[in-house]
Amino acid sequence: MRLTPLSLLTRVAAAGLASTTALPVLAAESTTALDELVVVGNRAPSQISEVPGTVWVLEGEKLQRQFDSGQTLKDTLGKLIPGMDLGTQNRTNFGQNLRGRSVLVMIDGVSLNSSRGVSRQFDSIDPFNIERIEVLSGATAIYGGGSTGGIINIITKKGETGDTQFETELGATTGFNKTDDRVFRAGQAISGGNEDVKGRLALAVQDNGGFYDGNGDQIQPDITQTDLQYNRSVDLMGSLQFNLTDSQSLDVTAQYYNSGYQGEKGLFVGPNLSQLNDPEIRSGFQSDRTPESDRYLLNASYRNTDFLGHTAYLQASTRMEEVSFHPFPGRTADDPDTPIPEMPYQGASKQNTEQHNLKAMLVKDIDDVRLTYGVDLDREDFDANQMIFDLNQALASGLLVNDKVFTTPRYPQYRVDGVAGFFQAEWQATDRLKLDAGVRHRRASLEVGSFVPVQQRVNIAAGIGTAAEPIPGGKNDYNVSLLNAGAIYDLTDSQQVWGNFSQGMEIPDPGKALGQGNYALTGMNGQYVLTDFLNLNDNNLPAVKTNQVELGWRQYTTDWDVQVASYYTWSDEATEVTDQLTIRVVDAKTRDYGLEAGADWRITDQWQVGGSAHYVRSEVKRNSEWQKKTVTEASLPKTTAHVQWANDQTTVRFQGAHAFDVDDEQGNEIDGPTTFDLQATQRLAAGELTLGVNNVFDKQYTTVWSQRAKLFYGLPEVTDFQGRGRTYTLSYAVEY
């Protein structure tokens, strides 16, 4: 069953589509069509056939089956979006790039990215509340910064006109290793309404136990970027849609999402770190700060189809989030001018972000020309603190017991204010040829407060020094213009070719790039005096601009869905992660180029096969030669394949994913994993039952994040994170 473009258009909000009508149980898997409406291509609703770029849409049975069989959001995106890296199995999505570069993640058009690069965008919503996902591959600036690799827009479920409807989902996952090897999921929603107002209210909860590898051993807790063992998440989401008049509508969505550690197991490294080379998992972990993501989101979208001869869109949104990390050891720096040794400490950070956005857009059709223009306003406030724990107690307990001693700022506090104007023109030059071009200009200011680093505050708390001179804050203004142009040509009614040039941008992480300085201590009981520091007023933090050219072809028929695109992405500056885990902007030419392809072939009414491939090579220019990027940054090429059989009652799907190895000039190598999954769904008299077997062959492997973390942190045994072994998931879903 497929909704027509007209029926979809009535559900369009300013920043995204509301939900489509729920598919019947085990309806034929939806296929993408050229006339399908998306908003990810140019913000206003457009058919895929009007977008000169690579667009992927996940919805209906195809998307729901992945979730019901135990696949996470990160897993699903990695396995179903050709250009997306395979997902990590911990809390962070660091390094899960799109076409080798960072991706902008949104919920109903509201950005989950911030200038502080905390990679938890996929720890933000329960799959129970997801209706569909739209993906635009490649650099773009239509929604602002952070999208140098592309955009993922998660569209939430909304209420439908009609009688009150209830939706219930229950699920459980286990590998049958130990009693704590389990995941429980539950979701409940109520929805309904009439032609004037309709809504949906939903609550989804997931409770995780321990995770086990292919050998049946428990996976080591991640004390760096944290994982999801013994984690509980709660997603409370409500939405209302108002038809104010025949031409005006208002959609309001509110969400509270919390995902945090709830266990008592931790990584024991021995008294006084005596077992750093042989850590073990033990009970008895307790801490005054534990890993957590806590987020509030409010979004209001207004649409008027008859505003001074235009269609007007207005969106206002607020997002507030707090993310906390696992206790982790650190050391203060040596002072070469005084006999002060490095001081160890144990701490955990909490990072707080508030984002407020106002977006206005007008769309005007004049014969064969469509004009889209508007303005975006945004404000972001950031602050962070570091909780310092009792070091002697932490060391004696093997880092299991962490009691607060004091809290101190972790990064400089800052505010980013921005305004951007954009203009886009589309021209249907002939019946088969469509051209478009546009520009986006953004001006922003960055204000940073003064800051005393954690190292100096730890020393002062230990009685070494009495005060420290703050690193001065400052202000940095920047402006950047970004261009795009594209052409799309209809070869037939079902296939197209296109080409485009586009630009994206990102701001280097102010939290890590700033607040750095060197100190000298004037006597053991004196004051820390700055000898030099990074002065924001004298050193701009420029926006890094990314350029991309792309050529593509797609064909959608009743039997085939095929899309292939080649791309070349480059920039003249880059951000690098230093040994101190700070970010700096360097004058360096970087490039990513590759081929992204996906295909589905419906052989008969019951049989379907398909697959995808992504070849990507990431390079940086050093000494006039192109060299491979470090493996901590480079994406892994990948391929996927699936075969599926279905009738009116049953669907069975077998799928596999393989990531290819990558290496760099320093001799480092990342080994890519290969896994297979089996999914089966059965229609019942009421609802449907899904069985999922993930990692069917119980493959033992080291995760990609673990291999990167060993290079980042230099603690190979502490950062040894194995992939999850074979698991079985049973889910039941019913609408009534």
pLDDT tens, residue by residue, 664-684? 999 999 999 999 999 999 999
Listed residue (96, 165, 110, 156) closest to 130, CA to CA: 156
pLDDT at residue number 332: 81
pLDDT at 200: 98
Q: Assign 331 a pLDDT band (cuts: 50, 70, 90).
A: confident
How much is the pLDDT for 9?
29
Give the range among 200-209, 521-530, 686-695, 705-714 with minimum mean pLDDT: 521-530
Note whether 41 and 136 are within 8 A (CB): yes
pTM of the model: 0.92
Using the CB atoms, write b or e for 99-137: b if 16+ within 10 Å: bbbbbbbbbbbbbbbbbbbbbbbbbbbbbbbbbbbbbbb
| pLDDT exceeds cutoff 60 at 15 | no
Task: Say yes or no to pLDDT of 506 above 90.
Answer: no
**Helix ranges restricted to H, 293-400:** 391-396
Which pLDDT value is given to residue 22?
32
pLDDT of residue 443: 93
Range in 3-12, 76-85, 484-493, 701-710 the model is least confident about: 3-12
pLDDT digits (tens, 9 = 90+) for 358-405: 999 999 999 999 999 999 999 999 999 999 999 999 999 999 999 999
The pLDDT, as a whole number, for residue 360 is: 97
- Judged on CB neighbours under 10 Å (0-12, 13-18, 19+), 685 is exposed
In tens, the pLDDT along 72-94 reads: 999 999 999 999 999 988 898 88
Q: How many CB atoms lie within 10 A of CB 72?
A: 19
Going from the C-alpha of 85 to that of each of 116, 596, 735, the distances in angstroms are 22, 12, 34
Asked if 618 contacts 630 with a C-beta cutoff of 8 angstroms, the reply is no
Query: pLDDT digits over 283-294, tens only?
Result: 999 999 999 999
- Tell me: pLDDT of 10 over 60: no
- What was the pLDDT predicted at 575? 62
Residue-wise pLDDT for 463-504, tens only, equals: 888 999 999 988 888 889 999 999 999 999 999 999 999 998
Is the confidence at residue 14, as pLDDT, over 70? no
Question: pLDDT tier at 21 (50, 70, 90 boundaries)?
Answer: very low
Choose among 487, 567, 482: nearest CA to 52.
487
Query: What is the pLDDT at residue 138?
Result: 92
What is the rounded CA–CA span in Å between residue 503 and residue 332? 41
pLDDT of residue 3: 37
pLDDT interval class at 439 (50, 70, 90): very high
The whole-number pLDDT of residue 476 equals 84
Annotated domain spans of the chain: 5-735
Mean per-residue pLDDT over the chain, rounded: 90
> Rounded mean pLDDT of 535-564?
88
- What's the rounded Cα separation, in Å, for the pair 519 and 508? 25
pLDDT at 581 over 80: no
Q: How far apart are CA 123 and CA 135, in angstroms?
A: 18
How far apart CA 1 and CA 673 sit, in angstroms, is 36
Element at 710 (helix H, strand E):
helix 704-713
E strands within 247-343?
248-261, 265-268, 280-283, 286-287, 292-307, 310-324, 328-331
pLDDT band at 34 (very low <50, low <70, confident <90, very high): confident
3-class secondary-structure state, position 532: strand
Instruction: Give the whole-angstrom CA distance, residue 552 versus residue 388.
Output: 53
pLDDT for the residue numbered 60: 82
Q: Count CB-CB contacts under 10 A for residue 441.
A: 15
Q: Looking at residue 18, what is its pLDDT?
A: 32
Share of the chain above pLDDT 70, in %: 92
The answer, yes or no, to whether residue 224 has pLDDT greater than 80, is yes
| Residue 571 to residue 590: CA distance in whole angstroms | 5
- For the segment 160-204, what is each residue's pLDDT rounded down to a tens digit? 999 999 999 999 999 999 999 999 999 999 999 999 999 999 999
Contact call for residues 272 and 266 (beta carbons, < 8 A): no
The rounded percent of the chain whose pLDDT value lies above 90 is 76
Identify each DSSP E strand in 367-413 by its residue range.
369-389, 401-402, 404-409
Residue 24 pLDDT greater than 60, yes or no: no
Superfamily name with CATH number, domain 5-735 = TonB-dependent receptor, beta-barrel domain (2.40.170.20)
Alpha carbon distances (Å) from 289 to 102, 230, 261, 269: 29, 15, 10, 19
Helix, strand, coil shares, percent, the chain, to 5: 10, 55, 40
Mean pLDDT of all residues in 407-412:
95
